Every structure is written in structure tokens, then in C-alpha cells.
Amino acid sequence: MADRIDESVTVATALLSKTIVPERVEWRHHTYICTRCTMQYTSMDGQTLLHVFFMTTKEACMQIVLNTRSLRWTLQAIETL
């Protein structure tokens, strides 16, 4: 079961075919390398556009969100493997 986190993270991304793809997530002094982005969608929070990504690493599955107004990344949930 995934743990709800809601903490700020640092994300390194790549731009593939006009799409942002997370490559690395730094959280609590640990770097997670993205092995696969399993799903991506956009959502609105009031007038703010959010990009939601579900990604897997060797250690965990994560849900991360990019707030396009503040340009901040948030780790919403994580499930360790």
C-alpha cells in the first residue's frame, strides 16, 4: 500500500516529443532513478495546472506532481518494493 507523503522533491527531467519525462527524483538525501513512467495526466487545482506522473524505480513506485504555477515538484505517494 502506498504511503501518502506530500513533500517537496527535486526532479531532473528530459523533454521527449514535447513531453516532460521525469528521469531522477531526489528525496530525503536519496536519488531515485526512473526506470519507467507508467502513467501521466493533467489536473486542475483552481486555476493551477498540475502534471501528475506515476513512475517506477528499482526501489519504489512513486506519484509526483508538477505545479505549473509555482514550478515546484511534490512527492504525493510512494510504495517501496
**What does the alpha-carbon distance between residue 2 and residue 16 come to, in Å, rounded to a whole number?**
28
**Model pTM score:** 0.93
> How would residue 22 be classed by pLDDT, with cut points 50, 70 and 90?
very high
pLDDT in tens, 5-17: 999 999 999 998 8
pLDDT at 1 over 80: no
Phi-psi region of 58 (alpha: psi -120 to 50; beta: other; left: phi over 0): alpha
pLDDT in tens, 42-68: 999 999 999 999 999 999 999 999 999
Lowest mean pLDDT among 14-18, 20-24, 36-40, 45-49: 14-18
